């Protein structure tokens, strides 16, 4: 009996209540109704204007996760639509501590105006922007880590870049990479083409990098294909 209880407890712990673990959730789940309203209508003493007043009365949760900390941290991407159809995306966090009957905004919402198009699918972005370069550098590091090649693949350039707004941003990149026989593939990071000139096989890699700035680790390599 004791063993059974223990097993049940551990089962529950590992599925849902793992402290610190982030669980992706269905943004349509009713559990986000209250925290979404809290985030959309919150006003503090300095900033008298709520997100909803600023960006539009209509909002919906388009991505969401939960994390058990001291309470439950709801992370949501809220999409606001203004009267004249301007769309703003806000990443917000709301902390609920039910035993204190507390629910409130945690941290500062991060908002950006987006086009309706970039929400549905991918749209082109500047391949030289720092955000794209950082995602590309991460992708090449991750590809090197997964490869058992003796020598290091170096990023030559980002040929094409597209992004999609999800819970964070998906970067779909076409990278030009090549092997440098000067540098070993031993996990060293921050190498540049100056230190490690490409003198061997060049190839193209299609990669998707998921950037969630609030998460650790921040980036995930969702897919890659090199030829």
Ligand X SMILES: *[C@@H]1O[C@H](CO)[C@@H](O)[C@H](O)[C@H]1NC(C)=O
Contact residues: ligand X, CB under 6 A:
138, 141-142, 145, 187, 189
Residue 137: CB minimum distance to ligand X, A: 9
Give the start-end residues of each E strand in 70-116: 71-81, 87-97, 102-105, 110-114
Looking at the Cβ atoms of 36 and 177, the one nearer to ligand X is 177
Residue 138: CB minimum distance to ligand X, A: 5
Looking at the Cβ atoms of 43 and 145, the one nearer to ligand X is 145
Q: Report how far Cα 222 is from the mean position of its chain's Cα atoms.
A: 11
Residue 113: CB minimum distance to ligand X, A: 31
* Rounded-to-integer distance, Cα 25 and Cα 211, Å: 17
Looking at the Cβ atoms of 90 and 177, the one nearer to ligand X is 177
Residue 189: CB minimum distance to ligand X, A: 6
Q: How far apart are the first and last CA of the chain?
A: 56
Residue 187: CB minimum distance to ligand X, A: 3
* DSSP bridge pairs for 164: 170
Looking at the Cβ atoms of 121 and 217, the one nearer to ligand X is 217
| Burial track 137-150 (b if 16+ CB lie within 10 A, e otherwise) | bbbbbbbbeeeeee
Give CA separation, 219 vs 55, 70, 112, 200, in Å. 28, 25, 20, 28
Looking at the Cβ atoms of 80 and 138, the one nearer to ligand X is 138
Helix (H, G, I), strand (E, B) or coil at 147: coil
Helix (H, G, I), strand (E, B) or coil at 220: strand
Token pair in block for residue 136: 């590309």
Residue 177: CB minimum distance to ligand X, A: 14
Looking at the Cβ atoms of 59 and 138, the one nearer to ligand X is 138
CA neighbor of 80 nearest in space, from 65, 94, 60: 60
Token pair in block for residue 106: 């945690």
Name the residue whose CB lies closest to ligand X: 187
Looking at the Cβ atoms of 92 and 136, the one nearer to ligand X is 136
Residue 220: CB minimum distance to ligand X, A: 9
The single residue listed with the structure tokens 């501590």 is 97
């Amino acid at each position: 009996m004791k063993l059974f209880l223990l097993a049940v407890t551990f089962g529950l712990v590992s599925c849902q209540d793992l402290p610190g673990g982030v669980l992706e959730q269905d943004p349509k789940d009713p559990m986000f109704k209250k925290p979404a309203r809290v985030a959309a209508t919150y006003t503090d003493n300095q900033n008298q204007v709520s997100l909803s007043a600023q960006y539009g009365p209509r909002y919906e949760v388009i991505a969401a996760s939960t994390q058990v900390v001291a309470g439950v941290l709801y992370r949501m991407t809220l999409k606001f639509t203004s009267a004249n159809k301007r769309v703003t995306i806000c990443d917000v966090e709301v902390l609920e501590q039910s035993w204190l009957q507390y629910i409130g905004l945690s941290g500062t919402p991060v908002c950006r105006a987006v086009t309706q198009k970039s929400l549905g699918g991918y749209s082109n972005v500047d391949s030289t922007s720092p955000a794209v370069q950082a995602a590309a550098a991460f992708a090449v590091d991750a590809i090197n880590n997964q490869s058992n090649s003796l020598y290091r693949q170096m990023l030559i350039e980002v040929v094409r870049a597209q992004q999609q707004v999800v819970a964070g941003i998906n970067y779909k990149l076409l990278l030009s990479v090549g092997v440098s026989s000067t540098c070993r593939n031993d996990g060293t990071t921050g190498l540049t083409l100056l230190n490690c000139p490409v003198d061997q096989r060049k190839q193209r890699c299609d990669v998707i990098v998921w950037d969630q700035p609030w998460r650790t680790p921040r980036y995930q390599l969702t897919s890659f294909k090199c030829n």
